[in-house]
Amino acid sequence: MEQIEPPVRAVGWSPAGTLRILDQRLLPGRELERDLGTIDEVADAIRTLAVRGAPAIGVAAAIALASALPEVTRHAVEAAAALLRATRPTAVNLGWAIDRMLAVARALPPAPSLDAALRAEAERIRAEDEAMCRRIGEHGQEWMRDGVRVLTHCNAGALATAGIGTALAPLYVAHARGRRVEVLADETRPLLQGARLTAWELQRAGIPVTVLTDGMAASLMAAGRVDLVLVGADRIAANGDVANKIGSYGLAVLARHHGIPFVVAAPWSTVDLATATGAAIEIEQRGADEVALVGDRRVVAAGVAIHNPAFDVTPHALVSAIVTDRGVLRAPFPFVANVSLVPPPI
């Protein structure tokens, strides 16, 4: 597999060996990298979506646990892990990365060997994520015919991972191989990850992208202007139900009605075999102001009730395929419940 550079690095190490993130709250207007030296700063960055996307917050938490502890002891790792875990409940990658760091802390004597072991594990998590993205890009090529028009939701690109993204990875690979691909990016209310982030990174990579508001997808599908819906995932239950950014479920219903494949791309670390179905997935509820305010302007009268779940669950019956780093899982599921059906890592 040829190497493909992401258009941007969202999360990684600073030269000083601390966590470096690109502050996504400021995009597309301003590109500001921040080096975060305390667990509180990292927790705040995850909560406020300065760093976001399921794989990226897992990598950020791992690097934080390796570089931002007040003292490198097992007790300090446990306390910081609990704080970071509580920041966002839906993305399984966060807890998955934290559990890997905890396993290292529980197995080893105190500093300095613990310090080195934590750093090595965090780097493994980062590097594995980058490699998983690349393999997802490869496995997704069967949908990337020349001229394909892909509708995506939220941001499951380089900004959401340590590599070339998940849902956007097949597009980056196809583009690097000279195939023409075109992206329709849902703006993704209320935090506009599609408009602010997906369009920005695709433009930077030279991939044609058009932004639409979330209500426009149906008419584009009806007009025959969408070949594929391709989204990421925050958690995939054992039966194949998929939690992803609010609005993904609606797109899956629309795609089924119009006979368009609805494909999910995610690393194997997003599959949660301990969660039987989507009904058991905790959905993060966020503050009312995210909906009530557009910038500084109030667009909902004060006192009106507001509903703001960050994610929804797409039932597996509406999912055509799940592209993982290990291979493509196809409907009909409950494939995931039976791990032996899952292709081994390549």
CB distance 267 to 325 below 8 Å? yes
Using CB under 6 A, pick the residue from 22, 183, 255, 310 that binds ligand MRU.
310
**Shortest separation between residue 276's beta carbon and ligand MRU, angstroms:** 21
The interface region with ligand MRU, picked from 5-13, 48-56, 107-115, 312-320 by CB under 6 A, is 48-56
Among 232, 240, 247, 327, binds ligand MRU (CB under 6 A): 232
Active site residue 99: no
Interacting span for ligand MRU (CB under 6 A) from 75-83, 137-145, 226-234, 320-328 = 226-234
Measure the CA–CA gap between 285 and 81, rounded to whole angstroms: 21
Which residue from 168, 35, 161 is spatially nearest to 97, judged by alpha carbons? 161
> Does 152 help bind ligand MRU (rule: CB under 6 A)?
no
> Nearest approach, Cβ of 315 to ligand MRU (angstroms)?
17
Q: What angle (nearest 5°) sits at the alpha carbon of residue 8, between those of residues 196 and 100?
A: 100
The yes or no reply on residue 278 touching ligand MRU (CB under 6 A) is no
Given the complex with ligand MRU, which of 114 and 192 has the nearer CB atom?
A: 192
Residue 34 host element (H or E): strand 33-36
Q: Is residue 52 near ligand MRU by the rule CB under 6 A?
A: yes
Catalytic, out of 227, 234, 272, 325: 234
Task: Choose the binding region for ligand MRU from 72-80, 179-187, 230-238, 288-296 (rule: CB under 6 A).
Answer: 230-238
Is position 234 an interface residue for ligand MRU (rule: CB under 6 A)?
Answer: yes
Q: Residue 120: which H helix or E strand, with range?
A: helix 113-139
| Rounded Cα gap, residues 69 and 305, in angstroms | 40
CB 251, CB 153: distance < 8 Å: yes
Q: Is 130 in the site for ligand MRU (CB under 6 A)?
A: no
Angle, vertex CA 61, rays to CA 57 and CA 62, nearest 5: 120
- CA of 44: how far to CAs of 53, 161, 207, in Å? 15, 18, 32
Nearer to ligand MRU, 244 or 314 (CB): 244
Position 160 contacts ligand MRU (CB under 6 A)? yes
Burial group, residue 206, by CB count within 10 angstroms (0-12, 13-18, 19+): exposed
303 CB-near residues (< 8 Å, 6+ apart): none
Residues composing the chain: 346
Q: Does 51 bind ligand MRU (CB under 6 A)?
A: no
Residue number, 175 or 196, with CB nearest to ligand MRU: 196
Is residue 150 involved in binding ligand MRU (CB under 6 A)? no
Binding site for ligand MRU (CB under 6 A): 49, 52-55, 91, 154, 156, 160-161, 165-166, 193, 231-234, 244-245, 310
Which residue numbers are catalytic?
234
